[in-house]
């Protein structure tokens, strides 16, 4: 089995694949203080919940943005005698990136673009609602060509509540109306519906630049479910898109030998 790991700035998503099938998935906090020992213990706990052991993991495919944790995860893979593939320079030969500086493109964005083109076709636009809201654009030839990065919903809320402590208890959910009739609804309108409106506006501009108003639009990321219900811009909501992209990149590396 393959353990795919998508390490973001706030959360780390893990998926256990048997062939092309995603058997199990988990989320855990991305804590820069975690050592290899702590990551190993957490991983053991997730597997034991389902009566499994780490012996079933043959390989680890990893996409991450925190170097110190990347090294810790590599040590975990070594401990469980699993081979490891890290999305980035070592996988460049099997991915399609046509950016000004490919080395600057985050591994998660490469995985998103790979999955979008593979499973949903090209051109495609991926809106990844995580710590940041990343928009990844795939051209008609299946190449990642760029996109946009905006502050994520939680970052925006954290910035707001840092200056207005009374707003800290507002739940992140969509209000029924854009016109909030109380403080909670007003904040939800600005935060949730505002994020949806931003996605709508950027997607419309990107479609015009692509010259294809029918380009597939895919929502993913930990907050996709919060936003997707507030807009009709998305053709697909796939919360596991990044893990599927990591799995596809691993498969291509195996084929390449």
Q: How far is CA 190 from the centre of its chain?
A: 23
Q: Is 108 a catalytic residue?
A: yes
d(CA 226, CA 158) in angstroms, rounded, equals 17
Distant-in-sequence contacts of 72-79, Cβ < 8 A, 24+ apart: 72/34, 72/35, 72/36, 72/39, 73/5, 73/7, 73/36, 73/39, 75/36, 76/36, 76/39, 76/40, 76/43, 79/36, 79/40
Q: Three-class SS of residue 122?
A: coil
Catalytic residue among 20, 37, 108, 158: 108
Of 253, 201, 232, nearest to 59 (Cα)? 253
- Alpha carbon of 203 to those of 176, 197, 216, 242: distances in Å? 23, 10, 10, 19
Which residues are annotated as catalytic?
108
């Amino acid at each position: 089995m393959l353990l795919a790991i998508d390490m973001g700035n706030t959360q780390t998503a893990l998926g256990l694949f048997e062939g092309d099938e995603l058997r199990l998935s988990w989320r855990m906090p991305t804590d820069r203080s975690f050592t290899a020992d702590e990551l190993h213990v957490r991983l053991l706990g997730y597997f034991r919940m389902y009566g499994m052991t780490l012996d079933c993991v043959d390989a680890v495919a990893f996409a991450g943005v925190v170097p110190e944790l990347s090294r810790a995860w590599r040590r975990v893979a070594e401990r469980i005698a699993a081979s490891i593939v890290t999305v980035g320079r070592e996988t460049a030969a099997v991915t399609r990136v046509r950016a000004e500086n490919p080395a600057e493109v985050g591994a998660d964005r490469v995985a998103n673009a790979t999955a979008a083109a593979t499973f949903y076709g090209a051109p495609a636009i991926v809106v990844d609602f995580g710590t940041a809201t990343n928009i990844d654009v795939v051209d008609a030839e299946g190449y990642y060509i760029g996109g946009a990065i905006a502050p994520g919903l939680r970052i925006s809320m954290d910035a707001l509540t840092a200056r207005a402590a009374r707003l800290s208890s507002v739940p992140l959910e969509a209000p029924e109306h854009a016109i909030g009739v109380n403080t909670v609804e007003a904040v939800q309108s600005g935060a949730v519906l505002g994020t949806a409106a931003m996605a709508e506006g950027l997607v419309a501009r990107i479609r015009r630049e692509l010259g294809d108003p029918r380009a597939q639009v895919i929502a993913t990321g930990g907050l996709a479910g919060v936003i997707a219900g507030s807009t009709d811009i998305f053709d697909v909501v796939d919360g596991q898109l990044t893990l599927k992209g990591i799995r596809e990149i691993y498969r291509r590396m195996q084929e390449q030998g």
